[in-house]
Amino acid sequence: MREILGRRRRLLSRRGDEGPDLIGAALTFAAEWQWPVLPGVAADPQDGSRCACPDPECTVPGAHPFDPGLLAATTDARMVRWWWTNRPTAPIVLATGGKAPCAVSLPALPAARALAALDRRGTRLGPVVASPTRWAILVKPYSLEQLGELLYAQDFVPGSLRFHGEGGYLALPPSVTAQGEIRWERAPLPGSASPWAPDVEAVVDVLVDALTRTGVSAPEM
C-alpha cells in the first residue's frame, strides 16, 4: 500500500524542478485504473500558445490525439512506458467511454458554481479535471441512447456544455497544453482501485442550470 500511495502522490503533484511526472501518471491511469490513454499532440515548440498539429484553427491546442490517433489508446504498461520515454512532455489523453469514464465539461466559472450547487444538494462527485478555461466532471460510461434521452428531457441545452463519451477524449493531469496546465479540481481519493464517478444523470440538470443562469451558451466557449 505504501508504494501505491507514494505513486499516487506523484500523480497529484509535481516533482520539483523536474516538472510533472507524466510517465508515472500515465502508468497509474493505464496499468492501475485500466483507463486507455495515449500521448497528445502537445503545443507548438515555436509558439506555446498554438497547437503543433496542422490545423491553424485547432480548438483544443496541444490537448488532443494526432499521431498516434485515438484508436491507439491502450492500458498496456509497456506501450505507455515506451510512449512517454520517447515523448516525456506529451500530454496524457484519456479515450473516454467503453470501460473508461466519460465526462461532461463546461467553462470554468459556471463549472465552479455548478460544483458548489452539487455540494449543497449532497451529490457525491468523483474526480473533476480543470484547465484554465474549462472544467470536466468525470462520470460513469453512458450510451448515446442514454445521453439522447437525458438531453431530450431538457428544455434547453447550452452549446458550451460538452459531452466526452464513446469515441471522445480528455486531457488528464498533470499535462501541460497550449491552453495551460491541466490539474485536478477534485483529486481522486488515494487507493488502488479506479476512482468512483457518478452517473451522468446526477449532474446534468445542475450543469445546464448553471450555464443558463450565467448566460454561457455559445459553443466556442
Measured in degrees and rounded to the nearest 5, phi and psi for residue 183 equal -135, 170
pLDDT of residue 219 exceeding 50: no
Strands 162-164 vs 37-39: parallel, antiparallel or unpaired: unpaired
CA atoms within 13 A on the CB side of 36: 18
Highest mean pLDDT pick, 53-57, 62-66, 183-187: 183-187
Q: Which residues contact 130 (CB under 8 A, 6 or more apart)?
A: 108, 111, 136, 182, 183, 184, 185
Report residue 46's pLDDT band, with 50, 70 and 90 as the boundaries: confident
Which carries the bigger pLDDT value, residue 204 or residue 212? 204
pLDDT of residue 16 exceeding 80: no
pLDDT of residue 179 exceeding 90: no
pLDDT of residue 6 exceeding 60: no
pLDDT for the residue numbered 19: 67
